[in-house]
Every structure is written in structure tokens, then in C-alpha cells.
Amino acid sequence: MFSCSLFSNSSLRRRLARWSVLGWLVLLQACGTPPAGPASQPAPVAQAAPVSAAPVGVEAPPAPREFRAAWVSTVANIDWPSRRDLSSDKQKAEALAILDNAAQLKLNAIVLQVRPSADAIYPSDIEPWSEYLTGEQGKPPAPLYDPLQFWIEQAHARGLELHAWFNPYRARNGNGKSAPAANHISKTAPGVVRQYGDLLWMDPGEPAAMQQTLAVIADVLRRYDVDGIHIDDYFYPYPIKNGGGTELDFPDDASWIAYLQSGGALARADWRRDNVNRLVQAIYQRVHQEKSWVKFGISPFGIGRPDRLPPGITGFSQYDKLYADVELWLANGWLDYLAPQLYWPLEQAPQAFRVLRDYWRAQNTQGRHVWPGLYTSRIDHSEKSWQPEEILNQVDATRESGESGGTGHLHFSMAALAQNRKNIRNRLGAEKYAGAALAPASPWLGKTAPAAPCLAPGGDPKTLKLRLEDGVRLLAVWKRYAQGWVFTTQAASGSSIDLSDDSQYGKPVQVLVSAIGRTGIESARTSYNLP
């Protein structure tokens, strides 16, 4: 017989509050150490600091929350696939290795680049296959398969979110080698695309460019079960210089003149920003029209408007050069998470990490998520390599005072973690990610909690059968041992909970299970006491 709920949400809140008042010690930093007994001084649970174990009590503490992600770049084969000539089976094997590494490290999301250059790593009627898969744009992988669907299925099977990452305007990267396919936008709509140095770029001032990007994103939303839509810092291109060192303006005279002839009155820089603003707003609206629960994230350059910067902060102005008004997007709530690329050392004063972190949090008046991007790939084997301590300390910095949306971070990129450069993956696992964590909830996308799981004895004493309502992807599982509670997550695709003895803590005596909805809202918890 199934047991489906022990506590209502209100009852759970009262009991968890009472748990906190009783003063049970929660281990914030040393997540992997054995559970402790009652503390003499109460220590509240901090959402920004993961918890893997807590002392014995009738109820477990709140589930730890932290967004832990890594970007997987396909452009230039930075992360995946490693080469352009791999068979489908080898591409799949590399993808599985990345996902296994991510799951073992206790990440909870992957941000996969699906549109590097107005192309696709999935079958599309709108844009051609990416050359980074096969070496030739328009050529499908062989044997034929759908890489995006494969990534989604395998990520979800490991309890990982999969965010689809699009470059909104880039039509060809400088390292592109293949000739454009016949259905590439540079062929089908050449008047929309501009040559800028060795780049091809869709002109943000051309309405057809915006419509192309919106159509591509809507197509992916309709056909694939992604958890997020993501764009990065490439709006207008980063400026290039001629041989004499003079910066070259983006060649958008045609669309600028058309704008003026239509009665437009904005100055050129403001018009360019308006082009980008309208795309960002339209993506946000389109994402939630298609699937209300899917998160829309943006990862811009890490320094904001020059006229608002904190004292001492200097550097490149994306507001003036990329025409990205990120502060406006935050103020209007046109995104669900911001991942500013804070790609500088903690102690580099002109781009001080904590100062910029606090700056972006202060702009977050709509209460969205602010999860900094970390430049983990600066750990390499060069003389200028960062030491692992830099990233470890930056992870700690993202956990400081995280009330204003700051409960997570993203690593650029997965290659540094997969290669375990200077032991960074092992140290993150041992020192920062010893316990699992749920991604923070996004209640503005939906506040309804899923039904509580139903539990019943399995066919053997080491298994607990599970029944869930449709649409649940992830479970939060607390197991109580003689020493205390231990938290894990589990993909909801499984039909059971493993009750086997733990090598460190021994035999579990109680299990609490909750379902996590698509917007991260937790259900009431169902309890099961073991004989």
C-alpha cells in the first residue's frame, strides 16, 4: 500500500521552523563530514551553502539550493564534440562522459550550445547542420541521430537540467572552415548578413534577423523538452580594428538608413540598443508563451553601464560597444536568470569580483536569479594559468549574502572540469560540492507544487516503490541514519528508492521524499519509516 504524504506544506513549514529553533547544527562548508549531534548554538540553514548531512531529528532540514552548471561549447569544438570528424557513436560517448562527470561532480545543469553560427546541432527545417559536428555545414552526423534529443534524454536521466544555448546574431565564426550550406541565412537572406572582419553577422537592425532567431528558438521549444533557453554576450560583435589600429564600426548603414526613412528618431547608438532590447524582450515573451516553466537566461559581459559603475571599476563597456543594456533587462524582468561573466581574479581591483557581484545583485529589482559565470578554463598549463584556489574561492564568494538571487554559478567551460586541470574537478567535488543541491526555484514562473510522492514497500527490503504525478522530473531525498540526515537528489524517471546500506553511515531508518516541479517548487514530503 502506498503512503503519499506525511506533512502538508504549512505543517512542514511549522515543523521546519521548530527544527531550526531547537538548534540542530547544519554543516555549511564541510558538507562531506559525518553528521553531527545537536549544537549548543543554533546555526540556520543558508540556501547559498549546500548541505549534505544534518543531525538526527524527526524532520529533515530544508533542501539545499544552489545552481551549479557548466557551459558546453560546440563552436570551434571547444568542449564537444572534440573533433569535426567523429562518428555518431564517438560523439555520443563523449557526451556521456561529460554528463557523467557533471553528475558525479554534483552539478545540476548543463548549458549546451545548440546554435553556434546560425546553424544547428539538431535536425532543423530552418537552419543547416553545424559544421562543428561533421566538418561540413549542412551534413548530418552518420549514422543519423538527433544530438540535442540525446543530450536532453541523457541529462534528465542523471537528474541534470539541460539549457539550450543560442548565439542570437553570429552567422559565421572566424574559425569556420566549411562553405555555407544552401539553406544558411547568408544564402537565403544575404541582405540580412554583414561581413565584419572574418565574421558573418546577422544585422540586429534588420527585422528578418530578429524573426529568424525567434523562429529558431520557438522551434526548439516546441520540439524539445529543454529546461532553459540561454543566450550569451554576443549581441553586436566585439569591435575589431584595422591595420592602423582604428576601431571599425559595424557596417549597418543600410538598416540605419531604412530606420531613418521610416521616421525613426533615435540616435544611432540608442537605435542599436533598442534593436537588442526588442529581441531580448521578444525572446522572453516567446519562451513563456511556448512553455511557461522554461527559464530564459542571459550571460552578458561582466561590466555594466559606465555611468553606473561602482567607484574603482573600469573596463570594456558592453553598453557602448555591444549595445547591451543589461540593467534595463533586469529592471524590466526580461530574463529569469542573469549569469554575468565575472572572468577576473577576486583581487583584481579594476574588475573586483565581489564588487561586480554586488553591483549586479543591486540591479536585480525584480528578484530574478543572479548566478555569476566563472572563468574556470583559465586554469590550464600555461604560465598565466590561474591556480585552483581562485575558482574555489570564487565559488565561496557566490555563496556570500545570496539573498538577492545569488544562489549559484556557472563554469566556463566543461573542458576544464572534464580534464580535471590542476585537480580542479576533484577539489570542487571534495571541498565545495560534497553534497547535492537543488537548483533554486523560480516561483514567478509558477507557484503550484506537485503532488507528494507515494511510497510503498518494494519487492525486496532494499527497495521502496515510487509513484509520481506526470511532469515531475526530479526527487529530493533525505535519508536518516543513526548519525543524522543525508540529502541526495534522484531523477524521477526511476520507479524506486534504493534503501541499501550506506558505506559511511550504515543502515537508513527513515526516508523523506519530495517531488520537484518544473519551476523548482517542492511538494509536501512523504515519509517512510524502515523496520
Distance of CA 109 to the CA centre of its chain: 5
Q: What's the mean pLDDT in 464-486? A: 93
Neighbours of 472 (CB within 10 A): 18
Q: Strands 474-480, 510-516: parallel, antiparallel or unpaired by DSSP?
A: antiparallel
Task: Report pLDDT for 527.
Answer: 94
Q: What's the mean pLDDT in 148-168? A: 98
Task: Report pLDDT for 58.
Answer: 60
- Is residue 22 predicted with pLDDT exceeding 80? no
Task: Report pLDDT for 5.
Answer: 59
72 vs 19, higher pLDDT = 72
DSSP secondary structure letters along 400-429:
TTTTSS--EEEES-HHHHHTTGGGHHHHII
pLDDT band per the 50, 70, 90 thresholds, residue 19 = very low
Task: Report pLDDT for 270.
Answer: 98
Task: Report pLDDT for 7.
Answer: 42
Q: From the DSSP assignment, how many helices (H) and strands (E) are in the chain?
A: 14, 20
270/404 Cα distance (integer angstroms): 29
- Is residue 36 predicted with pLDDT exceeding 90? no
- Is residue 351 predicted with pLDDT exceeding 50? yes
Task: Report pLDDT for 48.
Answer: 32
- Is residue 29 predicted with pLDDT exceeding 60? no
pTM: 0.91
pLDDT band per the 50, 70, 90 thresholds, residue 471 = confident
Dihedral sign computed on CA atoms, order 117, 121, 127, 128 = positive
Share of the chain above pLDDT 90, in %: 85
Q: What's the mean pLDDT in 416-424? A: 98
53/381 Cα distance (integer angstroms): 36
Crossing angle for the helix pair 207-223 and 268-290, to the nearest 10 degrees: 20
- Is residue 17 predicted with pLDDT exceeding 70? no
pLDDT one-digit tens code per residue, 368-412: 999 999 999 999 999 999 999 999 999 999 999 766 556 999 999
- Which stretch of 40-49, 151-160, 192-201 has the lowest confidence by average pLDDT? 40-49
Angle at 163 between CA 472 and CA 526, to 5 degrees: 20
- Is residue 55 predicted with pLDDT exceeding 90? no
Task: Report pLDDT for 511.
Answer: 95
Listed ranges 35-49, 197-211, 402-416; the one with the highest mean pLDDT: 197-211
- Is residue 54 predicted with pLDDT exceeding 60? no
- Is residue 32 predicted with pLDDT exceeding 50? no
333/234 Cα distance (integer angstroms): 20
Q: What's the mean pLDDT in 188-194? A: 98
Q: What's the farthest any 2 CA atoms get from each other in the chain?
A: 79
Dihedral sign computed on CA atoms, order 34, 40, 42, 46 = negative
pLDDT band per the 50, 70, 90 thresholds, residue 38 = very low
Task: Report pLDDT for 425.
Answer: 98
Q: Indicate the residue type of 256.
A: W
- Is residue 53 predicted with pLDDT exceeding 80? no
Task: Report pLDDT for 63.
Answer: 94
Distance of CA 347 to the CA centre of its chain: 26
pLDDT band per the 50, 70, 90 thresholds, residue 49 = very low
pLDDT one-digit tens code per residue, 258-308: 999 999 999 999 999 999 999 999 999 999 999 999 999 999 999 999 999
